[in-house]
């Protein structure tokens, strides 16, 4: 990342070799060693998404560890699709804790990062103190593999399904103009509209008159454009291409999240709220803000304050 484009201070990157890949990690609060918090971005996103939360977390006494996960930024982008399954993604986090000498940590995740954090908690429960999830609630495993269920209910043009049925098609569209795609996707004050026919994200990437207002400044957009020009979008999309594989890999895990958890929704987010969250996450608190999908950026102060207040009320074990 070019730190000169940052409008607020952002940590310098360190490349750390863990679990057979190099991860680009942004670390802050070394003086708070012993009180780790790991921040996990989603798709298409970067560790940079946490730029508004990192200074406040450091000031509150946390050692912040925010990786660009495999497939993103300057982190390794394996060629094989299966190298992005949930065992590899959570294995990266476990190895990252080992690198820093931590047995346990608090984890915060947004979007796909939330899915990884929920899954990490299922697969490595002894390594998680607390969970904060933004946008994506816990995804119950159900009787049918996730992609099969989505195709049956939402059709073959639904982007999860399209990524799998037509590999490479969406990737090429996004790669062609990464700045336009990100700028069209990262919006605030978008009106809630019925879905259009076709593959929605491809339509978003090509849109010449997106609704709402840009969420990112020119400098912030430049950070995303530079990162995705370098990495492309395929690595991150490969996370979606493992969803059925993940369904099988999680079959033997205890499906209950026992740790204290905070779930933050955006009221304008297209991601559906879970009506059965407490059945799988009994120690959860739920909050909602008048926000779209990128709640930690759009409602930065409210989100940061809510996280800090909840962490203070639910100290790590």
Catalytic residues: 111, 293
Cα–Cα distances in angstroms (integers) from residue 253 to residues 50, 109, 133, 141, 266, in the given order: 29, 20, 19, 10, 29
Strand, coil or helix: what is 221?
A: helix
Q: Quick one: DSSP state of residue 272?
A: P
Cis status of the peptide bond prior to 204, with omega within 30 of 0: no
Beta strand segments in the chain, E? 13-18, 21-28, 36-40, 63-68, 105-110, 128-134, 187-188, 213-214, 261-266, 284-289
Cα–Cα distances in angstroms (integers) from residue 142 to residues 103, 147, 209, 243, in the given order: 31, 11, 39, 13
CA 12/CA 260 separation, integer angstroms: 31
**Which of 115, 105, 161, 160 lies closest to 135 in space, CA to CA?**
115
CA 48/CA 26 separation, integer angstroms: 9
CB of 217 within 8 A of CB of 7?
yes
């Amino acid at each position: 990342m070019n730190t000169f484009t940052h409008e607020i201070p952002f940590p310098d990157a360190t490349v750390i070799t863990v679990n057979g890949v190099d991860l680009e990690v942004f670390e802050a609060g070394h003086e708070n060693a012993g009180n780790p918090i790991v921040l996990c971005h989603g798709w298409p996103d970067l560790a940079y998404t946490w730029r508004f939360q990192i200074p406040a977390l450091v000031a509150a006494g946390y050692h912040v560890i925010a990786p660009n996960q495999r497939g993103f930024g300057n982190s390794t982008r394996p060629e094989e699709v299966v190298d992005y399954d949930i065992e590899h993604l959570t294995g990266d986090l476990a190895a990252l804790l080992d690198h820093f000498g931590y047995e346990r940590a608090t984890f915060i995740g947004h979007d796909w990062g939330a899915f990884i954090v929920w899954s990490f908690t299922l697969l490595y429960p002894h390594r998680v103190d607390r969970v904060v999830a933004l946008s994506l609630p816990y995804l119950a495993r159900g009787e049918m593999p996730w992609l099969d269920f989505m195709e049956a209910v939402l059709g073959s043009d639904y982007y999860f399904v399209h990524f799998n049925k037509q590999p490479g098609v969406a990737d090429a569209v996004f790669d062609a103009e990464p700045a336009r795609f990100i700028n069209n996707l990262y919006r605030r004050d978008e009106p809630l509209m019925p879905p259009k026919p076709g593959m929605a994200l491809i339509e978003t990437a090509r849109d010449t008159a997106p609704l709402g207002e840009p969420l990112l400044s020119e400098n912030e957009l430049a950070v995303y454009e530079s990162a995705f020009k370098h990495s492309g979008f395929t690595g991150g999309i490969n996370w979606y291409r493992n969803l059925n594989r993940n369904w099988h890999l999680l079959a033997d895990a205890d499906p209950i999240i026992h740790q204290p958890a905070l779930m933050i929704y955006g009221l304008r987010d297209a991601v559906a709220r879970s009506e059965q969250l407490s059945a799988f996450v009994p120690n959860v608190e739920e909050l909602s803000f008048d926000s779209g999908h990128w709640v930690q950026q759009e409602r930065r102060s409210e989100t940061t304050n809510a996280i800090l207040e909840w962490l203070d009320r639910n100290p790590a074990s």
